[in-house]
Chain A
């Protein structure tokens, strides 16, 4: 097997997982974790300069390259954050060294599974990879082994498994649709071949398959009404995992949906997947925005904000067309960066305050200015205020919707504004006013958080030309 970037993106996390599972000592393993994710990211960067040929199992094109770069980058910065976060967890005794070893190994397995799902050129392989990612996150969510954590992990497990099972049924139906055209065997599950022949598939079978896939992978994306696992899983697991779940795993599931949407789009007889996605996106957005008002737990609140943004992104891809797809891609990237930055801040805040209850936090900008202002900046970004990146992508989505379907723009804008109100209401009590709750200084590393926010800020002001062209190409690919 000749060495190429795809192999590297898969093999580095896998071998790092094996190594981290046996190595003792927190300092070495945390650094090794960072090193491995850095190498993975560099390998992913090299994909920009040369891509291997599409094989029966792996391929890289413009679409998944965006996702791979984003995943490996956020994976890298999260591992930097995780190093300082986990050190504190060890000191307070919430994690024992044995569990820490397990945690690091699982982190790398998760990176491997997500990369595998992204580079897979085979719908069966992609399904297996997403199942693996689900399993590892279930284990990580339950890692504190408190009653709540186990319950959250259990709920995630059962709902995730049902989603995964429905997605498999959809996958089988796609194979059934492809078989008469392509013939039996491996070829009928390969993306590149499927996409080429999708026009001749039986439309009725393809429609049915998409309904199952939408429900199945939609559960993993966290679309309402299939979102019930998401807030619990985010709130009870370690914060680096919340960051990775929100920033990356939801995207990976969405990527799977987008691929299948492309199949349907190139079949003239099939139902157009757009309206279904638009409806689910809008429901998630409005529902999550209302739910934001009643949150008492800081991580739970940002979990609902993730549902809201996944709703917006699904809506944008459902609208389709070059502009909405472009905006959807941009929004997805911006959301991943911003939300993980927020979780980096939230993780340290929860450690400083010793609780996740919003009522016990206050005046953070006075007691811990870096964390407080970092959180405020993150919330300003996630709420979609100018001049940050999310403002731009939301503006594009709203304006393209107004141009095409003005009626749909009303609930969209309503949901976004509603969420903005809720977020500011809460962050006001957390960041400003009288200091509340215990205060101590935090020896956190602020680099990952501010690096993400800086990128989001820059993207809001200026997007480099080649990047725009690239995203436009991908948007065209999505149809």
Chain B
């Protein structure tokens, strides 16, 4: 039974890395957001599984948060925002897909080598979880670096953060995990509101008339 519990945790964490890779080659924004929703869903499953095997009921809360907030609310909001901003059909390519994927593979290899070597004495479940989590974090960073669009940078940041939640839940018995995941959700909510306000300003300068007047007044 122990073996099965372990294998399922492994499978879920591994799928998270896989979905991270899927994000890397999405060049349409709405497809990217859908992939992120999948990412968050896999995370929710993984966290719920951890809650089950660690017998830590408070982690179910983190899982529920991931499912409701990150897999449903945020993607829906982002989809609406990109439609409102008229960038939902945009295709972005900064670095070629092939090169990005190669880089991604290198980063995953790096995190495996690093974490497995460093944590040789830790218990196997935690150390493999941590290795996968680091891979997800690094892939998120890679995405933030290779994209230009604010929305896809934010998606990169959110998948990075998913990796952190995976790491935090994998560290058995870590206190404050729920609080930290709530704090992160607040941060993300702010970011999404931020894009909305910020991008609107950049594209249609006339929505906020009061601010516009002030802006002009300063320039002359």
The interface of chain A, by Cβ under 8 A from chain B, is 93-94, 122, 124-125, 127-128, 131-132, 135, 138, 144-147, 150-151, 153-154, 157-158, 161-162, 164-165, 168-169, 172-173, 175-176, 179-180, 184-186, 188-189, 202, 204-205, 207-208
Contact = CB atoms under 8 A, between A and B. Distances in A.
B102 interface: no
B202 to A, nearest CB: 8
Contacts of A128: 176, 179-180, 183
B211 interface: yes
Contacts of B168: 168, 172
A173 B211 CA distance: 45
Contacts of A125: 176
Interface in B125-139: 126, 130, 133-134, 137
21 contacts: A128-B183, A132-B183, A135-B186, A138-B190, A144-B214, A150-B201, A151-B198, A153-B194, A154-B150, A157-B190, A158-B153, A161-B187, A164-B187, A165-B164, A168-B168, A169-B134, A172-B168, A176-B119, A176-B130, A176-B171, A188-B175
Contacts of B208: 145
Given A154-B194, A169-B134, A188-B174, 10 more contacts: A124-B176, A128-B179, A145-B208, A150-B198, A153-B194, A162-B160, A164-B187, A169-B137, A176-B130, A208-B115
Contacts of A157: 190-191, 194
Scoring B141, B168, B187, B202 by chain A CB atoms within 10 A of each residue's CB, the highest score goes to: B187
A179 B153 CA distance: 34
Contact of B173 (A127, A151, A179): A179
Interface string B91-122: 00000000000000000000000110111111
Nearest to B176: A124
Contacts of A124: 175-176, 179-180
A179 B130 CA distance: 14
B164 A168 contact: yes
Contacts of B218: 146
A297 to B, nearest CB: 14
A175 B171 contact: yes
B60 interface: no
B89 interface: no
Contacts of A168: 164, 168, 180
B167 interface: yes
Contact of A202 (B121, B202, B214): B121
A165 B134 contact: no
Contacts of A146: 211, 214-215, 218
Contact of B175 (A135, A138, A162, A186): A186
Interface string B137-163: 100010010000010010001001100
Contacts of B187: 131, 135, 161, 164
B172 interface: yes
Closest A-B pairs by Cβ, 7 of them? A184-B173, A124-B176, A204-B118, A186-B175, A145-B211, A172-B167, A146-B215
Contact of A172 (B121, B153, B157, B171): B171
A165 B157 contact: yes
A174 to B, nearest CB: 10
Nearest to A160: B187
A274 to B, nearest CB: 21
A153 B119 CA distance: 38
Contacts of A204: 117-120
Contacts of A153: 194
Contacts of A176: 119, 122, 126, 130, 171
B197 interface: yes
Contacts of A150: 197-198, 201
A20 to B, nearest CB: 21
Contacts of A122: 176
B51 to A, nearest CB: 15
Nearest to A132: B183
Contact of A208 (B118, B137, B164, B186): B118
A124 B175 CA distance: 8
Contacts of A154: 150, 194, 198
Contacts of B126: 176
A320 to B, nearest CB: 25
Contact of B114 (A138, A188, A208): A208
A167 to B, nearest CB: 10
Contacts of B141: 162
Contacts of A164: 187
A180 B121 contact: yes
A173 B202 CA distance: 40
B155 to A, nearest CB: 12
A151 B195 CA distance: 11
Interface in B176-220: 176, 179-180, 183, 186-187, 190-191, 194, 197-198, 201-202, 208, 211, 214-215, 218
A146 B171 CA distance: 43
B106 to A, nearest CB: 18
B163 to A, nearest CB: 8
Contact of A184 (B150, B161, B172, B197): B172
Contacts of B194: 153-154, 157
A128 B176 CA distance: 10
A144 B218 CA distance: 11
Nearest to A131: B183
A75 to B, nearest CB: 23
Contacts of B118: 204-205, 207-208
Contacts of B198: 150-151, 154
Nearest to A123: B176
A179 B171 CA distance: 9
